[in-house]
Structure 1
Amino acid sequence: MERWKINLIVLWLGQFMVMSGMTMIIPFLPLYIQEMGIHDPHEVAVWAGLIFAANFVSSFIFQPIWGGLADRFGRKVMLLRSGFGMAFVMMFMGMAATPLHLLLLRLANGVISGFMPAAVALVSANTPRERMGFAMGTLQSGSVAGTILGPLFGGVLAEWVGFRPIFYITGGLLFAASVLAAFLVKEKFDIEQAKTRPKMSVFSGFRELIRIRQLPALYSVTFLIQFSILSSMPLIPLFVQELHGSGQLLAFYAGLVGSVTGFSNMIASPLLGRLGDRLGSQRILAIALIGTGLAFIPQAFVTNIWQLLASRFLLGVFMGGLLPSVQTLIRQYTPSGMESRAYSFNTSALALGNMLGPVIGGAVSGLIGIRGIFMTAAVLLLLNALWVRLSLFPRNQVQKTGS
């Protein structure tokens, strides 16, 4: 088997393990906090929100730092640093005695994290250009699969073994995935050449990258994807209740609506990535952005569960062409030697969307409702599609298309 394919398989597994580990605590986090002696419902809710967001806050800050180091010392080193580090932090979470301990460990996990941008940078640097879209789409499907199945695994394991052993199991699996990467992943990286490049701070690196007009547009796509999806995600169960009523199977339908987007995304990502290799990632990104924006519109007008399921499934199909195309294009527009830094800023944009989406969505839901949030997401994504068209397509091509 070709070396880039072996790397892709091993890192797909690593992406799956990291994302499933990060999301596995969602179903039982409030219950775990109650087990620590906090029983007031409001206090439990506050702690749960802080603990869940903590990982994204510290990740947003530290991702660019690790990205800069990866460009100097190699992506595989950063990959293993993150993988082994998160494995031990995850095990310590199972020993947390108070919510404060868990909060600090989630912050530490965000500080140590960096597996995803390192994996993306390593795959992009060692994959043939004509297969880049397929590789990015496949890697994205591993991340999405972990996000979908993580809560399911967490809920099942909580019933079987209790809360604390889940952290030990997840840490052990992360450790095993890191060992596998240590032995099987190979990287073409000239560390001596990297050391000859001038040192660059996080801020100077960011200034250097945003001078490339395509990169701010790509970062905005990543932010808006997460912001648009997560701004409505916490409200989906209430919306399902509004459509279905409080009868039987309410929890089942709420879970189905919440996961159907991820399933279609997971299926579509490798397919659209391969199509991007043939037609160009710019075209796939533009089409996927328009399709994602339009797919939000019918959600604002649905009258039953099945209409909502169909529109959310369609949303996931178009979303499958977004992040893989973004990651392929970041590699295309980034100067040689700054790939990891560029991907780390993209991961920070993703973390920022994860943080702000639920907060702002919850704040404005009282004014415009979830249907208004769907329409707002559609407008933002369609405006972003226009910006991408102006930023990524050659000006003469845009003028010809416009005329």
Structure 2
Amino acid sequence: MPKWKKNLYILVVSQFMVMAAMTMIIPFLPLYLQELGVTDPQSITIWAGFIFGINFLSAFIVSPFWGKLADKYGRKPMVLRSGIGMAIVMILTGFATGPWSLLFLRFLNGTISGFIPASIALVSTNTPKEKAGYALGILQSGAVAGGICGPLFGGLLAEAFGFRTIFNITGVGLALAALTVWLFVKEDFTPPEAGEKTSTMDDFKKIAAVSPIIQIYMVVFIIQFALIGVNPLVSLYVEDLSGGVNSAFYAGLAVSSMGIANMVAAPILGKTSDNKGAYYTLFVCLIGAAVFSVPQAFVTNLWQLIAMRFMTGLCLGGLLPAANTLIRQLAPSGMESRTYGFSNSFLFLGSLLGPIIGGLLAAVYGIQGVFLVSAVMLTIAVIIMKIYVIPGIKKRKDDSGD
């Protein structure tokens, strides 16, 4: 088996373990706040929002820094650094004494996180360019599968062992994922020659000068903002459609249907990226995601919503893998991880702002209005692709003679 393929399969398993471990805590985090002494329902809502968001805020800030270190020392050390660091923080989270300590530990977790972004950079830089789309699609499937299974595992284990024990189990899972990478993943990395030291802003200016990278960053932000911003509201929407009957089950079904579709479609669309071009896959999937977002505002029963979420998930399977493939193709030599680092900052910013602004919009226009705003945002991304990204990539191909 080629080394790149062996690395890919190992990292798929590791990403599954990491995402399953990280998402185990999602179902009961507000309940854990109650155990820590927060009892007022309004206070729980506020604290939960901050505790979820602070993780993305710190990740947004430090992602370019970790990318710079990855270009200097290799991507595998960054995967190990993140896995071991998050394992320690997760175990400490089980010993939180109050909401402030939990908030600090979530901030620290975001600061040292980056297992999945570092894995993406490792796979993309150690995989033949003609196979990059397929590899990144497979990699996303592993992460999505973990994200689907994690909340289920977490709910079952929390019932059996209690909330604090789950953080210890999560920490062990993260440590096992890091150990797996350390033992079995082999990276081809040549340290760069010592050169002039540059600031983060200098790096960003150099990368942004490569057209159309900055426009792809904008598309990545919109994807995460538009699709993640809706997610926290799905359970409320399901409750309205179901009349409160088995709403928890149906909410889980609506969320998981999108994840399952994403997991199934990602490898297939990754191959399409390799055959037809990543820009083609990204463009078509953006159109599909925009189109399928509109009917979700007008559904009249649960099964219509679940069907539309599934179709949106099929499109989602081609979005971020295709964007990451384009970033790999456009990244300046020796700055691949920094290029991904800035992309991850845009992604984390979308993950941070999407739920916040989505909640505010829902308060004003209703949940249905949020789906329409998502469709508009995705349409803007389609326009960016049409006007800037596709012509920019075609011009680069013409200039290089490919």
Aligned-partner Cα distance in 2 for 1:238–1:30: 16
Alignment match, 1:327: 324
Alignment match, 1:113: 113
5 Å matches for 1:90-169?
90-169=90-169
Aligned-partner Cα distance in 1 for 2:286–2:9: 28
Aligned-partner Cα distance in 1 for 2:189–2:244: 57
5 Å matches for 1:3-402?
3-191=3-191, 194-247=192-245, 249-394=246-391
Amino acid at match of 2:32: Y
Aligned-partner Cα distance in 2 for 1:395–1:275: 20
Aligned-partner Cα distance in 2 for 1:301–1:133: 34
Aligned-partner Cα distance in 2 for 1:241–1:3: 48
The alpha-carbon deviation at position 18 of structure 1 amounts to 2.4
Report the TM-score when normalising by structure 2: 0.95
Between stretches 157-166 and 224-233, larger displacement belongs to: 224-233
Percent of aligned pairs with the same residue? 50
Given that 2:76 and 2:122 are in contact with CA atoms closer than 8 Å, whether structure 1 keeps it comes out as yes
Deviations 1:78-118 (A, max 9, x none): 11111111111111111112121111111111111121221
Given that 2:87 and 2:171 are in contact with CA atoms closer than 8 Å, whether structure 1 keeps it comes out as yes
Given that 2:154 and 2:166 are in contact with CA atoms closer than 8 Å, whether structure 1 keeps it comes out as yes
Given that 1:265 and 1:320 are in contact with CA atoms closer than 8 Å, whether structure 2 keeps it comes out as yes
Given that 1:134 and 1:273 are in contact with CA atoms closer than 8 Å, whether structure 2 keeps it comes out as yes
Aligned-partner Cα distance in 1 for 2:96–2:283: 46
Given that 1:76 and 1:122 are in contact with CA atoms closer than 8 Å, whether structure 2 keeps it comes out as yes
Given that 1:23 and 1:147 are in contact with CA atoms closer than 8 Å, whether structure 2 keeps it comes out as yes
Say which SS state the counterpart of residue 26 (structure 2) adopts. Answer: coil
The alpha-carbon deviation at position 364 of structure 1 amounts to 1.4
Given that 2:18 and 2:173 are in contact with CA atoms closer than 8 Å, whether structure 1 keeps it comes out as no
Aligned length: 395
| Structure 1: stretches of 5+ with no match in the other structure | 399-403
Amino acid at match of 1:291: G
The alpha-carbon deviation at position 397 of structure 1 amounts to 6.8
Say which SS state the counterpart of residue 303 (structure 1) adopts. Answer: coil
| Structure 2: stretches of 5+ with no match in the other structure | 396-402
Between stretches 19-28 and 257-266, larger displacement belongs to: 19-28
Given that 2:75 and 2:118 are in contact with CA atoms closer than 8 Å, whether structure 1 keeps it comes out as yes
Q: What RMSD over aligned residues (CA atoms) do the two structures have, in Å?
A: 1.5
Aligned-partner Cα distance in 2 for 1:197–1:126: 23
The alpha-carbon deviation at position 158 of structure 1 amounts to 0.5
The alpha-carbon deviation at position 396 of structure 1 amounts to 11
Aligned-partner Cα distance in 2 for 1:127–1:236: 37
Deviations 1:56-98 (A, max 9, x none): 1110001100101111111111111111111111111111121
Deviations 1:107-140 (A, max 9, x none): 1111111212211111111111121111000111
The alpha-carbon deviation at position 43 of structure 1 amounts to 1.7
